[in-house]
Amino acid sequence: MKKDQVFAAQTGKSPADFATSLGVVLQKNGFIINNESTMNMAQAFQAHGAEVAPGFDLHMIQICKPDKAAKSLGANPERAILMPKFVMVFSREGKTQIRFLRYSEEQIRGVVADDVFPGSLAQTYDKIRSMIDEAK
């Protein structure tokens, strides 16, 4: 995997505060946090009886644009494999880290043979990155 496919940033906000800020920015742009009630992984693990390390603070934020996703998946359900878009936010050494993985158009074409989807998904990745920057 190429290093430029992993967007890495920091914010002075806590993971929970960043998730809230990102949710506001997403909503302004027609996106949602699809897993808002389960994105706090410490709570999710504990709800299933798993112990987590002290200070463990990871939010796995699943981003969706419902109107675009519905049209895209209606046109070709094979696209679903690449539809989940997650922003990972976690604490490390007193700083909040942000990670986002994107795929290149070439990689997308290798997974889903489609004329329109690779370019459209690449544009969505760019939009998510700009929304992350705005939320920081």
Query: What pTM value is reported for the model?
Result: 0.89
pLDDT value, residue 35: 95
**pLDDT at position 111, please?**
87
| Cβ–Cβ < 8 Å for 132, 22 | yes
Nearest Cα residue to 56 out of 70, 68, 38, 44? 44
Residue 32, H or E segment: strand 32-33
CATH number, domain of 40, equals 3.30.310.70
Q: Measure the N-to-C terminal CA separation of the chain; round to a whole number of Å.
A: 25
pLDDT at res. 31: 97
CA distances from 24 to 14, 28, 99 (A): 15, 6, 19
Exposure pattern of 14-53 as b/e (b: 16+ CB <10 Å)? ebeebbebbbebbeeeebebbbeeebbbbebeeeeeeeee
**Residue ranges making up the domain that contains 78:** 3-135
The string of pLDDT tens digits covering residues 65-124 is 999 999 999 999 999 998 889 999 999 988 999 999 998 888 888 888 877 788 888 899
pLDDT of residue 2: 58
| Amino acid code (one letter) for 9 | A
Q: What is the predicted pLDDT for the residue at 107?
A: 86
The number of domains in the chain is: 1
Average pLDDT rounded to a whole number, residues 5-14: 94
Pick the closest to residue 20 from 8, 43, 36, 42 (CA basis): 36
